[in-house]
């Protein structure tokens, strides 16, 4: 078992999934909404929500999002309204929503997220889109933590202001990194930059760690390394339908970020 596996997921979440419960699982760093034991939505103050992901890049006007919330929110059918009114394509909304779910769950289920509470019967105004199993969320949360540590095993950079450093002669910077460094003012953290750019908070953290590994951002002195981990067997389990879903989601997100 990996270092993170024992702490990444709430045991209550797995129990509620087994019970096919419906309601909201609340933690200090986020909330997961379940329907019949499957996760239908998640949100966290640490990551941009579906509204920011859709509107920040100009894909959906802010006024259209607000109209959907005003008209369909009371009926908990915002997602359905966006699709049926032609504001967003069904497939595009589903991919963006799943990205937001995995992003928020990553922070909500992380270490130090405080006590877990469950509000039985609670639902979210976004409505039902594409659900995902608790087991898939667990695996993806662990995979993301291991990926971060494999790139740069010093998590202190995750919460520190991003301070750019000059590139070495001949050192290349990707367009995605260039956009992040352009926004980095030495004051905002990776999470704040993610909100500003309307990007996944996890992928912003990942990019910051890559920049730290190549010396393109400042890092705190004498960080304490995390012991190296190995990828669990499920990462390469091609027979798992949940893993196939995650791979399609990953490819789609990377193509748009």
Q: Kindly tell me the number of DSSP H helices and DSSP E strands found in the chain.
A: 10, 4
Residue 89: is it exposed, middle or buried by C-beta count within 10 angstroms (0-12/13-18/19+)?
Answer: exposed
> For strand 30-35 and strand 23-27, is the pairing parallel, antiparallel, or unpaired?
antiparallel
Q: Which of 13, 64, 52 is nearest to 34 (CA)?
A: 13
Task: Evaluate whether residue 67 is within a structural domain.
Answer: yes
pLDDT in tens, 98-126: 999 999 999 999 887 667 899 999 999 99
pLDDT in tens, 35-90: 999 999 999 999 999 999 999 878 899 999 999 999 999 999 999 999 999 999 99
The predicted pLDDT at position 222 comes to 52
Same domain, 133 and 17: yes
Task: Evaluate whether residue 146 is within a structural domain.
Answer: no
Same domain, 247 and 197: no
What is the count of structural domains for the chain? 2
Q: Is the pLDDT of residue 94 over 90?
A: yes
pLDDT band for position 238 (cuts 50, 70, 90): very low
Same domain, 164 and 99: no
Q: Is the pLDDT of residue 92 over 90?
A: yes
Dihedral sign of CA atoms 90, 95, 101, 103 in order: negative
For the question of whether the overall pTM of this predicted structure is more than 0.75, the answer is yes
Across 123-142, average pLDDT: 93
Q: Is the pLDDT of residue 131 over 60?
A: yes
The predicted pLDDT at position 58 comes to 84
Same domain, 98 and 176: no
Task: Evaluate whether residue 123 is within a structural domain.
Answer: yes
Across 199-227, average pLDDT: 84
Task: Evaluate whether residue 49 is within a structural domain.
Answer: yes
Same domain, 95 and 181: no
Q: Is the pLDDT of residue 1 over 50?
A: no
Residue range(s) defining the domain that contains residue 196: 155-213
Same domain, 124 and 17: yes
Given strand 23-27, what is the order of strands in its sheet? 38-43, 30-35, 23-27, 117-120
Same domain, 171 and 248: no
Task: Evaluate whether residue 90 is within a structural domain.
Answer: yes
Same domain, 96 and 183: no
Cβ of 222: how many Cβ atoms within 10 Å?
A: 7
pLDDT in tens, 166-212: 999 999 999 999 999 999 999 999 999 999 999 999 999 999 999 99
Which of residues 226 and 213 earns the better pLDDT score?
213
Task: Evaluate whether residue 147 is within a structural domain.
Answer: no
Identify the residue whose tokens are 């915002």.
78
The predicted pLDDT at position 9 comes to 66
The predicted pLDDT at position 113 comes to 61
The predicted pLDDT at position 121 comes to 96
Which of residues 234 and 130 earns the better pLDDT score?
130
Across 142-166, average pLDDT: 94
Q: Is the pLDDT of residue 146 over 50?
A: yes
The predicted pLDDT at position 7 comes to 47
Task: Evaluate whether residue 225 is within a structural domain.
Answer: no
Same domain, 74 and 192: no
Same domain, 88 and 209: no
Same domain, 89 and 118: yes
Same domain, 40 and 85: yes
Task: Evaluate whether residue 227 is within a structural domain.
Answer: no
The predicted pLDDT at position 200 comes to 95
The predicted pLDDT at position 233 comes to 41
């Amino acid at each position: 078992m990996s270092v993170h596996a024992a702490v990444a997921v709430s045991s209550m979440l797995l129990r509620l999934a087994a019970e096919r419960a419906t309601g909201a699982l609340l933690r200090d760093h986020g909330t997961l909404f379940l329907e019949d034991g499957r996760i239908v939505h998640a949100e966290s103050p640490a990551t941009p929500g579906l509204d920011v992901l859709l509107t920040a890049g100009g894909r959906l006007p802010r006024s259209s999002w607000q109209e959907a919330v005003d008209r369909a929110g009371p009926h908990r059918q915002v997602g359905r309204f966006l699709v049926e009114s032609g504001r967003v394509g069904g497939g595009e909304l589903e991919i963006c929503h799943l990205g937001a779910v995995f992003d928020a769950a990553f922070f909500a289920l992380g270490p130090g997220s405080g006590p877990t509470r469950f509000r039985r019967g609670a639902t979210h105004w976004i409505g039902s889109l594409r659900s995902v199993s608790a087991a898939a969320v667990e695996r993806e949360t662990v995979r993301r933590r291991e990926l971060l540590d494999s790139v740069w095993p010093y998590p202190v950079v995750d919460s520190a202001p991003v301070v750019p450093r000059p590139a070495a002669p001949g050192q290349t910077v990707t367009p995605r990194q260039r956009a992040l460094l352009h926004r980095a003012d030495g004051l905002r953290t990776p999470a704040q930059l993610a909100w500003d750019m309307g990007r996944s908070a996890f992928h912003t953290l990942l990019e910051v760690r890559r920049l730290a590994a190549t010396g393109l951002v400042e890092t705190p002195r004498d960080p304490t390394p995390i012991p190296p981990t190995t990828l669990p067997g499920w990462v390469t389990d091609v027979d798992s339908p949940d893993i196939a879903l995650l791979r399609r989601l990953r490819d789609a997100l990377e193509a748009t970020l």
